[in-house]
């Protein structure tokens, strides 16, 4: 099946009051597992590569992007490619040359005015090339191995009035908002503010994106979608499944040297996790 665009998947989901899940790709096995899980669930999905993952591959996006694109094109369900948490302008520009339909430009660590300026520039650049641009306002913690931010501290969450001005001033296509989730949680104990999601949904003309969704329990995710979240980003849950399967296999088979022996169950564990999240997000 040909690749579809993230904008197309998200726009359709929003018009139906539904959501689309986006999963992080670090290795080829992640991409294969996401495609397998999506096929199993019979749902579309977004495969996203973050600036962090590019750094892991020595700063080279081309090989992982090409492999992920090939996996997506071979799938029987619609899949889209997205570049995630992009800070570097060079990587932003690579979204176009490497065939991504969308990018999340992350200027959230900058003061408000600088975030608006940098994001508006990224949006102008992206829209000139047909690229859908997501941005972030508020502070969703736990990125880049940084210490987790207290998602419940005052001033951390996205304010609906400020977000409405931000969307108008930047022209972004979707907004990642801070509503109580944080990145890299390995326990699903995050408490998301569903009333704030509903307020943001009412205040903003663009789809909302939930980051750090691995830490949100199934019921919390369902309620987040019902309240107005349209793109649900999931990364750590795949790594928890992957590493758990590798650890269990090697404990049971300590003499193993062929990585395929433990990557098969690792990939299968990730595919099961993907299918599970897709079923939850579908409602
Ligand atoms: O952008 C990616 C996501 O926000 C993933 O967050 O690894 O905590 O699920 P997570
Ligand atoms: Zn994120």
Asked whether 103 lines ligand 1 (CB < 6 A), one says: no
Backbone φ and ψ of 16, nearest 5°? -100, 5
How remote is the CA of residue 142 from the centroid of ligand 1, in Å?
A: 9
Asked whether 235 lines ligand 1 (CB < 6 A), one says: yes
Regions of the chain where pLDDT drops below 50: none
Q: Which of 84, 106, 159, 193 is catalytic?
A: 84
Q: E-strand spans in 51-101?
A: 79-86
Sequence-ordered list of residues with C-beta below 8 angstroms from that of 206, at least 6 positions apart, any chain: 167, 172, 173, 174, 175
Q: Whose CA is nearest to atom 6 of ligand 1?
A: 212
Residue whose CB lies within 8 A of the most ligand 1 atoms, among 26, 234, 239, for a mutation test: 234
Q: Whose CA is nearest to atom 10 of ligand 1?
A: 212
Residue with tokens 């990364």: 235
Q: Which ligand 1 atom lies nearest to the CA of residue 182?
A: 8
Largest Cα–Cα separation, the chain: 59
DSSP secondary structure letter of residue 263: H
Q: Where are the alpha helices (DSSP H) in the chain?
A: 6-15, 28-41, 51-56, 62-73, 89-97, 112-127, 160-170, 194-203, 218-227, 236-252, 259-282
- Over residues 87-115, the pLDDT tens digits come to 999 999 999 999 999 999 999 999 999 99
Q: Which ligand 1 atom lies nearest to the CA of residue 184?
A: 8
Q: Is 114 a catalytic residue?
A: no
């Amino acid at each position: 099946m040909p690749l579809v665009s993230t904008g197309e998947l998200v726009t359709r989901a929003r018009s139906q009051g539904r959501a689309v899940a986006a999963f992080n790709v670090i290795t080829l096995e992640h991409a294969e597992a996401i495609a397998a899980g999506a096929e199993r669930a019979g749902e579309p999905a977004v495969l996203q590569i973050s600036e962090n993952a590019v750094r892991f591959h020595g700063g080279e996006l081309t090989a992982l992007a090409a492999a992920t694109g090939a996996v997506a094109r071979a799938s029987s369900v619609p899949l889209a490619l997205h570049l995630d948490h992009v800070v570097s302008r060079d990587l932003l520009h690579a979204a176009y040359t490497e065939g991504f339909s969308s990018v999340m430009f992350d200027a959230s660590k900058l003061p408000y005015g600088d975030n608006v300026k940098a994001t508006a520039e990224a949006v102008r650049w992206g829209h000139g090339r047909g690229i859908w641009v997501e941005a972030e306002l508020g502070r969703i913690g736990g990125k880049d191995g940084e210490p987790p931010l207290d998602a419940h501290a005052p001033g951390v969450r996205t304010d609906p009035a400020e977000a409405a001005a931000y969307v108008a001033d930047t022209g972004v296509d979707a907004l990642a908002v801070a509503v109580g989730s944080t990145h890299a949680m390995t326990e699903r104990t995050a408490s998301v503010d569903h009333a704030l999601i509903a307020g943001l949904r009412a205040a903003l003309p663009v789809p909302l994106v939930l980051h750090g969704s691995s830490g949100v329990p199934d019921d919390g995710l369902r309620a987040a979608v019902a309240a107005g979240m349209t793109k649900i980003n999931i990364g750590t849950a795949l790594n928890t499944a992957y590493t758990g399967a590798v650890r269990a296999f090697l404990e049971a088979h300590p003499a193993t040297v062929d990585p395929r022996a433990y990557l098969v169950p690792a990939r299968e564990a990730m595919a099961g996790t993907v299918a599970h999240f897709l079923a939850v997000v579908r409602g």
